[in-house]
Amino acid sequence: MFASALSDLWYGFGVAFEPQNFMWCFVGVLVGNMVGVLPGMGPLATISVLLPLTFGIKPVGAILMLSGVFYGAQYGGAICSILLNLPCHPPHAVTCLDGFPLTKQGRGGAALGITVLSSFVGASWGILEMIFLAPVLVKVALEFGPTEICSLMLLGLLAGSTLAKGSPLKGIAMTLLGLFLGIVGTDVETGSERFTFGIPNLLDGIELVGLALGLFGIAEFMKSVNQYSEVNTRYSKVGLRDLRPSRDELRRSIPAMLRGTIIGSLCSLIPGTGPTIASFISYAAEKRVSKTPEKFGTGMIEGVACPEASTHSSVQGDFIPTMSLGIPGDAVMALILGALMIQGIVPGPQLIKEHPDIFWGLIASFWIGNVMLVLLNVPLIGLWVKLLMIPYKYLYPSALFFVAIGVYSTNNDMFQVGETVVVGLIGYLLLLLDFHPASILLGFVLGPRLEENFRRSLLVSRGDAMIFVERPISAFFLFLCVTLLAAQVYVRLRKPKALAALDVAEGNGVATARPAE
C-alpha cells in the first residue's frame, strides 16, 4: 500500500508540475492569500466569485486553483486576526486571543512566523492523512449500493448542518431548503417540470454560481455595508526580519503545533466539524495542558501555534470525504464539488479511479501550494499589511461587479443575474432570522443525488422502506444519525451556556469584530 501510494503521489506531482496546472495553483494561492487578508471577504465569497472564471480551464487546473484559494485564504485570515484583532474569518477568531496581545508587545511578527510554520506542519499532516486514508475509504465505499449511499448522505448532511455554527434546528431547516432548491427544474427520470413556475430559464434548475453568489456575495454585502470602520493599523508595521521567532518561542511552539495538528486531523474526520471547531477545541486543550493556563490571553505563543496548526490540518482533512465519497463537509467543499460537477465530473468513490489526475494532482498541489504560501507570505507580508487598509467601501462595489459579470458569463444569460439578486435578498432575510445559508449549499449540491439514490434503493426493495434498516451498513449510518441528534439534544439541554459562548465567538466577522484597541 505504501509503495503504491508513493508512486501515485509521484504521478500526482507530475500532474501538478505541468506548467498550466502549476500556474493555476499559484494564481489560486496568491488570490486566496490576498483576499483572505482583506477584512470582509471570506473564502466562500472568493471561491464563488472565481467559480465562473474556472469554466474555461481544464478540470484539473480549475480544482487546483479553487482549492488553492481556500487554503490560501486561511493563511491570510491569520494575518488579519493577529495584527488587527479582527476575527474576519471564523477559524482564526481564537487566534486573536493571544495573537493580538503578542502584537501589542511587539512580537506580532514572531507570532506570524510561528503561524506560517504551524500552518505548514498542520497542512502537511492533513495531506499525509489524505494520501493514506482516502484510498481505503474508497475501497470500502465502492461496495456501497444506493441504499448505503443514501444513508451516508443523510449522515453527512445531518452532521454538516447540526455541528456547524448556529442552532442545529435551523441548520436542518436550511439543509432541507437546499435539497429542495437542488431539485427545481426538470426531473431527470420522468421529465416533468418541478417548481419552475413556467419560467423556461429555470428548466435546467437553479444555477450553483447564482445561488452561491447571491448567498455569500450579495447577502453578505448587505449585512456588512457601513459596518466596517477604518481599521487601526497602529501595531501592524511588520518587516521581514520581525518574522523570526526567538529560540524560546520556537521551543514552546513545537509541541503545541503537534498537538494542534492531531486535534485538527481528528476533527476533520467528522463531517461538519470544520476548521472553526477544530481551532476552538485545540485552544481549549492547549490551555488545559499548559503549566501556566492563567497566562493564556495575555500573549502566549502556544495559543497561536496550536489553533493555527489544527485549522490547517483540518482544512486539508476536509477534502477527504469530499474527494473520496463525494460528500462535502461544509459549504466550501460543496462549492468545490459543484465546480467538479459543472466540469462534467461525477463525484463519488469512483472519482479516484476514473480521474486519478484530479485526485493525485490535487494532493501534490497541496504541498506545492503550501510551500508557495510560506515563500509568498514571508516577503509579501508588508504588502498584505497595506492591503488591510483598503476600505470596505471600495471593496464591495468592485466585488459586486465581479458577481454580476461572473453570473452572466456562466451561461451568457442576464436572467441569472436577476436570479442572484433575488437569492441575495432572500439570503439576507434569512441571515436576519439567524439562519446560516451555508447549509443551503450543502443540500443544494447533494439534492439531486440524494433523490436519485433514494428512488433507486426503493426500486431495488420494491417499495419496502425497511431496506434502510435491514442492510447492516445503512443501518449503522442511520444509527449514527440518531446518536448525533440525541447527543445534540442532550448537550443543548445540559450545557446551554458553554455552547452559547462558542456560538458568539464563532459568529461571523461583523458580529464579533471588535475594533483594535
Q: How far is the CB of 309 from other proteins (least distance, A)?
A: 35
Query: What count of Cα atoms within 13 Å lies in the side-chain half-sphere of residue 42?
Result: 23
Tell which positions 431-450 bind other proteins, by CB under 8 A.
432-435
Q: Which residues within the stretch 390-419 sit at the binding site for other proteins (CB under 8 A)?
A: 392-394, 396-398, 400-405, 408-409, 412, 414, 417-418
Q: Which of 70, 71, 221, 366 binds other proteins (CB under 8 A)?
A: 221
Is 479 a binding residue for other proteins by CB under 8 A? The answer is no
9, 53, 269, 371: which one binds other proteins (CB under 8 A): 53
Counting residues that bind other proteins (by CB under 8 A) gives: 60
71 near other proteins, rule: CB under 8 A: no
486 Cβ contact partners less than 8 Å away, ≥ 6 residues apart: none
Question: Which amino acid is present at 16?
Answer: A
- Contacting residue, 140, 169, 482, 491, with other proteins by CB under 8 A: 169
CA–CA separation, 51 and 403 (whole Å): 10
Q: Does 464 bind other proteins (CB under 8 A)?
A: yes
136 SS3 class? helix
Nearest Cα neighbor of 471 from 148, 208, 217 is 148
Which of residues 371 and 458 has its CB atom nearest to other proteins in the complex?
458
Least distance in angstroms from the C-beta of 31 to other proteins: 13
Interface with other proteins, residue 490, by CB under 8 A: no
Cite the DSSP H helix spans in 38-186: 43-50, 59-84, 95-104, 108-141, 146-162, 168-182
| Rounded least distance, CB 430 to other proteins, Å | 8
- Between 43-50 and 19-37, two packed helices, what is the crossing angle to 10 degrees? 140
Q: Convert 328-388 into a string of H (helix), E (strand) and C (coil).
A: CCCHHHHHHHHHHHHCCCCCCCCHHHHCHHHHHHHHHHHHHHHHHHHHHHHHHHHHHHHHC
Tell the smallest beta-carbon distance from residue 465 to other proteins (Å): 6
Q: Minimum CB separation from other proteins for residue 41, in Å?
A: 15
Binding mask 1-30 for other proteins (x = CB under 8 A): ------------------------------
Nearer to other proteins, 222 or 475 (CB): 222
User: Residues 330, 438: contact at Cβ < 8 Å?
Assistant: yes
- Interface with other proteins includes 192 (CB under 8 A)? yes
Region of residue 198 (left: phi > 0; alpha: psi -120 to 50; beta: else): left
* Secondary element (H or E) of residue 186: strand 185-186
Looking up cell 448567498 gives 215
Query: HEC states along 38-75?
Result: CCCCCHHHHHHHHHHHHHHCCHHHHHHHHHHHHHHHHH
CB of 407 to other proteins, least distance (A): 8
Task: Work out how close the CB of 463 gets to other proteins at its nearest, in angstroms, rounded to a whole number.
Answer: 3
Residue 214 vs 275, nearer CB to other proteins: 214
Q: C-beta of 66: minimal distance to other proteins in Å?
A: 16
Mark the segment that binds other proteins (CB under 8 A) among 92-100, 170-178, 271-279, 316-324.
170-178
Check if the beta carbon of residue 329 is closer than 8 Å to that of residue 30.
no
Closest CA to 81 of 73, 89, 69: 89
470 scored as a contact of other proteins (CB under 8 A): no
Judged by beta carbon, residue 366 or residue 435, the one nearer other proteins is 435
Is 166 a binder of other proteins (CB under 8 A)?
Answer: no
Sites of contact with other proteins (CB under 8 A): 53, 56, 167, 169-170, 172-173, 176-177, 179-180, 183, 187, 189-190, 192, 194-195, 218, 221-223, 225-226, 392-394, 396-398, 400-405, 408-409, 412, 414, 417-418, 420-421, 424-425, 428, 432-435, 451, 454-455, 458-459, 462-465
